[in-house]
Amino acid sequence: MDPRESLPTSPDAARARLVTELRARDVGLTRTVQNAFARVPRHIFVPEVGPAAAYRDEALVIKCGPDGLPVSSSSQPAMMAIMLEQLDLGRGHRVLEIGTGSGYNAAVMAEVVGPGGQVVSIDIDPELVARAEASLNEAGYFDVSVLRADGGYGAPGDAPFDRIIVTAGAWDIAPAWLDQLGPGGRLVLPLSLRGMQLSVALERAGEAWVSKSAWRCGFVPMLGDFAGPERVFRLDEPQPLVAQMSDGSPIDGLALRHALTGPATHVGARAPVGLSEIADLDLWLTLTSRDLARLTVLAAPGGWLALAPLLPVGGLIGHATDPGRIGVAILVPTETAPDGPAGPSAPPRVAFSGLGPGGATIAAWLADMTIEWAARGRPGAHELELTVRPTGVGPEPASPGAHVSPGAYVMRRPSVTIQAGWPD
């Protein structure tokens, strides 16, 4: 029997169960945030599903584009809780939300800030704005202000804010978000770093902004004038495939299809890697393997792809425009790796699946890199340090700062320069 069939069916019971699940997660959930989740009726904001399903700890798609891909969702409650704790939201705060979606997150924040605070939420989609306003009113959150606008420009008429939270994947950091924060303000956003998203909390430090925390996450990409170049592409023949390349890097679609449908070479990690460490290793490899791009396979309708049980799944790709050399290496638990020849050692719990003509070479190189990752203390998202400097403000970092390793990665975006790395 599907365990979800035994979930409570009444909204109150289902909501209480959700709060219990969130409390059990090790995310430092405060009593204030717990109480907010306990009071907000999520089922009003996602009427597409029944009351019991509305309180599952899952993201729920609320709108798709003409291509069938999601353009908005009600975020997973656990991820919402993590971001609210990153935001350090408190009573009386004025908060701006970029990306209203269903309105559920705005309602939770309204509970946290209380009657002395203010929640302003912006969405670029007029249909979603109308939907969110109706749901907020039905749930009794009449004081939440919902605006239809491009969130990249913030809400200058309501600024300054104590907190700003972005709930869509951001490639750049819009100047308005930094300018519209008051003294002691904090910005939390899902920031794309080489095709991987991290929910990052930023605070001002002189002319720069520095990270206070970072968590792996996945959000629908931002739309509007500040949308990034990481476009989703679709291959339709002979089988459909939906994928994305980091920073809009070019790729030979036919060569990619041939690579993904060919045999896999299974190379075990050279250092022991626990299943819970996969995300951290994946992040470290993505930021340090600068000659490789990041490929994310989002969907393969029909289940024809050997990696289908893992989708969406990301990996590193080399020679993406050369059909004779293209290679993809994906970090996976060995029990879910595609069939293929095993590496020279006994299969570990984690391995790299190399696909395409160059896949075995890339997989072997990444497997060797796990030794360095382990020697550096197994760095991951929680140890990552980011420094963000607005373009044209002070000296841009040509080299890492004093407290960041020589391997720090510098990403220049139109509005900011981002330096990411791990302390020595």
Residue type, 215: W
d(CA 123, CA 147) in angstroms, rounded, equals 7
Domain range list for the chain = 60-217, 232-375
DSSP single-letter state for residue 400 = -
d(CA 180, CA 187) in angstroms, rounded, equals 10
Residue type, 31: R
What is the per-residue pLDDT for 401? 40
d(CA 22, CA 29) in angstroms, rounded, equals 8
What residues are labeled active site? Answer: 75
User: pLDDT tens-digit profile of 263-303?
Assistant: 999 999 999 998 889 999 999 999 999 899 999 998 888 87
What is the per-residue pLDDT for 349? 75
**Farthest-apart Cα atoms in the chain, separation:** 64
d(CA 36, CA 31) in angstroms, rounded, equals 9
User: Which residue, 208, 209, 207, 189, is CA-closest to 199?
Assistant: 189
Grouping H, G, I as helix, E, B as strand and the rest as coil, residue 34 is helix
Q: Is 215 exposed, middle or buried (0-12, 13-18, 19+ CB in 10 A)?
A: buried
Beta strands in 206-363 (DSSP E): 208-217, 232-235, 241-245, 264-268, 293-299, 313-318, 327-333, 350-355
What is the per-residue pLDDT for 274? 86
Are the C-beta atoms of residues 316 and 328 closer than 8 Å to each other? yes
d(CA 110, CA 165) in angstroms, rounded, equals 13
User: pLDDT tens-digit profile of 153-187?
Assistant: 999 999 999 999 999 999 999 999 999 999 999 99
What is the per-residue pLDDT for 397? 54
CATH number of this structure's domain 60-217: 3.40.50.150
Q: Which residues in the chain come in under a pLDDT of 50?
A: 1-5, 339-348, 398-404
List residues bridging with 161 in a β-sheet.
Answer: 181
